[in-house]
Structure 1
């Protein structure tokens, strides 16, 4: 929790222990923390540098905690000041960069990133830097970043960044596929499914895109594309795939209002996965239901809509808004 002001886990634990005790001798504190005395003393010296602890004037091996309200408050003010200075420097550098790159070359518009760690880091930076929207085409075969499950996505969604994601149908058959999609839908992300996506692709704010260059058997590499005609083409590719993809509803997503005579959340899960192309057996396995239960519920939906075929059921599902296809964004 205090890592933001430069403390590691041992230093934070030492400070918390000192605050709880008020003051403590080095051996007693080391025993309480379960650390050697030498490591405990190093942690205390770091706290002393930060103004969070001090040695007792009466006994050199006795340490006293500084009041948190005063000591931490001062460090937080200093941290905010440093962040303000960094933000100002960032703005100045951005202005300088724009001035120098008023007529960017082709090299400036496309970066080549090589290596698994470099690709993963650039991918996370792209999402963390997004302000309003991230669009992605996802396959079930990760190269450097696995699936849709990553910390930067969660942090971006928590900031209010919207996500539109199209996944390959294969992902729904993977062991964690349904879990990942359910987690994404739980963050109010929009997810759709197609038989096959043309390429992996991530676009942030329609201003920066990332496309992989190599497959699983070669060293991971990717293109980072800045604002250009190429980026506009990639955005057009995403929108075309998005329009043709099937919306997914899982769990409580899209349930009808209470009191309406319609399908429950499990019915909607089954219907969504069937329309996404899964067989009855696959749906039963993914949702941990019996095959007969799935078939019975499908039959109930057909009776509810008064149809005799599953094709007609799919049409009625769209007409009634159970799996309504949203209009593409402009």
Structure 2
């Protein structure tokens, strides 16, 4: 969907010599072993050895459409990884190590290194939290300048979110398409909730309806107002970004860390959210706004089943909904009624005759 900050230009990867040779086109190889440190040429050489059982450098070079020097270099790298060895039966020939044994050992090593990296990340995060318990006033905000830097910080903000991303989107953003935004897709796939408020002018953008529909199909919550006060993105109520410059100036943004200023920004978002109209996809696949003063038919079904004693998981199964969809709908009803517990929500449901409908 349209986002407040610009995306960097996407680069293209250069083609390796093995790809230029047409090897992958001819044999349909995809790169599958890059995670254990093999490049395309090395992987192709190992696959060829596995297929042939044994081969000398000239034969293998001919099969891979490579120079013999490049082929021998690839074989030496495979030997270094324990994936190939020189034949003891015939000088000059190379044989492949059994994949189950050789690749299994490499994968085990990679898992161990990944676990060590995760441990290091956790320790660094703990040290960082210890340092920012009483941060200096100067450390509460960062100024990021340049389109590339702003876009990178924006993507990091989404990739680092674990619970929720909130955003205010104006009708004149530098557009980052939601269905092209890998970070947003990855975040929603990890269970990160999105609450987004867009200006009504966003619906008039050339790709506005398509992007909003894509966001809604990912179970993002989208609301519409006539005008939002500013562009804004907040992740987990601990980090926020707001623009510093006008549209025609060099892009710059203020990154706000956990502080009273951040709470004020979240309060601004919450106040606009309460006044905005929820956006949904109608049965005819068109976007419709829904008055925010009451539940729809699905909400009523969810309320009835919850009041009957079913768990969230049971309600989701009964109504053929996702568990997170049920939980988001319940959270929305709590926001509409201004309550903080489900017990209070049940009382308001009866008080407002929602369940009696």
Provide the residue aligned with 1:177 in structure 2: 208
Shift of the 245–77 alpha-carbon distance from structure 1 to 2, 3 Å rule, reads same
2:272 alignment partner, SS class: helix
Runs of 4+ in 1 over 6 A off after TM superposition: 322-325
Q: Distance in 2 between matches of 1:77 and 1:17?
A: 24
Matches of 1:192 and 1:35, distance apart in 2? 57
1:66 aligns with 2:97: yes
**Cα distance, 1:80 vs structure 2:** 1.9
In 2, Cα distance between the equivalents of 1:63 and 1:183? 52
Question: Aligned-pair distance for 1:98?
Answer: 3.3
2: CA distance, partners of 1:88 / 1:67 = 32
Counterpart mapping for 1:250-329 below 5 A: 250=281, 265-266=283-284, 269-270=285-286, 272-273=287-288, 275=289, 321=297, 326-327=332-333, 328=335
Gaps of 5+ in 1: 252-264, 276-313
Match of 1:146 in 2: 176
Question: Which structure carries more relative contact order (alpha carbon 8 Å, separation 6+)?
Answer: 2
RMSD: 3.1
Instruction: Give the aligned partner of residue 75 of structure 1.
Output: 106
Partner of 2:23: none
Structure 2 match to 1:95: 126
Sort the Cα spacing of 1:80 and 1:198 in 2 relative to 1 into closer, same or farther, 3 A: same
CA distance in 2 between counterparts of 1:47 and 1:163 reads 45
Compute the TM-score of the two structures, normalised by the length of structure 2: 0.66
Is residue 135–residue 204 contact of structure 1 (8 Å, CA) maintained in 2?
yes
Are positions 1:118 and 2:154 aligned together? no
Native 8 Å contact 1:249 1:323 kept in 2: no
Q: Secondary structure at the match of 1:166?
A: strand
Question: C-alpha distance in 2, partners of 1:130/1:117?
Answer: 20
- Following superposition, the deviation at residue 142 of structure 1 comes to 4.2
Q: Identify the range of structure 1 (201-210 vs 23-32) with the bigger mean alpha-carbon deviation.
A: 23-32
1:241 deviation in Å?
2.0
Does 2:256 correspond to 1:186? Answer: no
Q: Is the 8 A contact 1:136 1:202 kept in 2?
A: yes
Aligned pairs, number: 274
Could you tell me how far apart the structure 1 residues matched to 2:128 and 2:296 are? 52
Do the aligned partners of residues 20 and 185 (structure 1) sit closer, same or farther apart at CA in structure 2, a change above 3 Å counting?
A: farther
Instruction: Tell me if structure 2 keeps the 8 A contact 1:114–1:219.
Output: yes
> Could you report, residue by residue, the CA deviation over 1:271-312 in whole angstroms, capped at 9, with x for unpaired residues?
x44x4xxxxxxxxxxxxxxxxxxxxxxxxxxxxxxxxxxxxx
Partner of 2:261: 230
| 1:157 counterpart = 2:188 | yes
In structure 2, the partner of 1:132 is 163
| SS of residue matched to 2:167 | strand
Q: Quickly say closer, same or farther: Cα 1:42–1:171, change in 2 above 3 A.
A: farther
SS of the residue corresponding to residue 168 of structure 2 reads strand
Counterpart for residue 78 of structure 2:
47
